[in-house]
């Protein structure tokens, strides 16, 4: 039996306060709320959706659990996010997110020759995210 093709459609993100998280993703990353109820919100980046209707969406899910997204690489000790956003103007995004009151790493050169330049940051709920840009777009 042949495996049918798969496509990532939605990334689910745990949040403590749904309204606060919606507001943060709108102001920090430009995502708009396509749909919500009392405990869920489906967010999309309109530029991506307009360019490709199969764009990945974010589903914010309110939870009482305290576990959040993120991990440390066992060999490098680098703290990673689960979602990396490609940013055409990394410096502008870093400056913008730095004004929002959540933790933001310094914008540094890549630590590995193959790695892009980027920075990590926390959303309003403590989930670890990252943004990156290659010196030459790939």
State the pLDDT at residue 106.
Answer: 93
Average pLDDT over residues 74-96: 91
State the pLDDT at residue 94.
Answer: 96
Whether residues 35 and 83 share a domain: the answer is no
d(CA 101, CA 131) in angstroms, rounded, equals 17
State the pLDDT at residue 50.
Answer: 65
Whether residues 34 and 58 share a domain: the answer is yes
Q: What is the pLDDT of residues 27-75, one digit of tens each?
A: 999 999 999 999 999 999 987 776 677 789 999 999 999 989 999 989 8
Q: What is the mean pLDDT of the chain?
A: 90
Helix, strand, or coil (residue 58): strand
Q: Is residue 33 part of a domain?
A: yes
**CB neighbours of residue 129 within 10 Å:** 23
d(CA 23, CA 92) in angstroms, rounded, equals 20
Average pLDDT over residues 115-133: 93
State the pLDDT at residue 91.
Answer: 94
Whether residues 98 and 48 share a domain: the answer is no
Q: Is residue 101 part of a domain?
A: yes
The total of structural domains in the chain comes to: 2
Residue of 120, 123, 122 whose CA lies nearest to 132: 120
d(CA 16, CA 21) in angstroms, rounded, equals 8
CATH number for position 91: 3.10.180.10
Structural domain of 114 = 71-133
Q: What is the arrangement of strands in the sheet containing 40-45, beginning at the earlier edge strand?
A: 10-15, 57-62, 40-45, 31-36
How large is the C-alpha radius of gyration of the chain? 16
Which sign, positive or negative, has the C-alpha torsion 65, 60, 101, 130? positive
Q: Is residue 90 part of a domain?
A: yes
């Amino acid at each position: 039996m042949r495996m049918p093709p798969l496509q990532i459609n939605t990334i689910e993100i745990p949040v403590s306060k749904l309204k606060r998280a919606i507001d943060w993703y709108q102001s920090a990353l430009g995502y708009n709320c396509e749909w919500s109820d009392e405990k869920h919100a489906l967010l999309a980046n309109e530029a991506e959706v307009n360019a490709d209707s199969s764009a990945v969406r974010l589903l914010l899910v309110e939870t009482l659990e305290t576990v959040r997204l993120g991990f440390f690489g066992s060999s490098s000790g680098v703290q990673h996010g689960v979602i990396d956003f490609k940013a055409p103007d990394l410096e502008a995004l870093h400056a913008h997110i730095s004004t929002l009151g959540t933790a933001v790493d310094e914008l540094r050169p890549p630590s590995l020759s193959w790695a892009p330049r980027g920075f990590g940051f926390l959303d309003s709920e403590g989930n670890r995210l990252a943004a990156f840009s290659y010196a030459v777009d790939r």
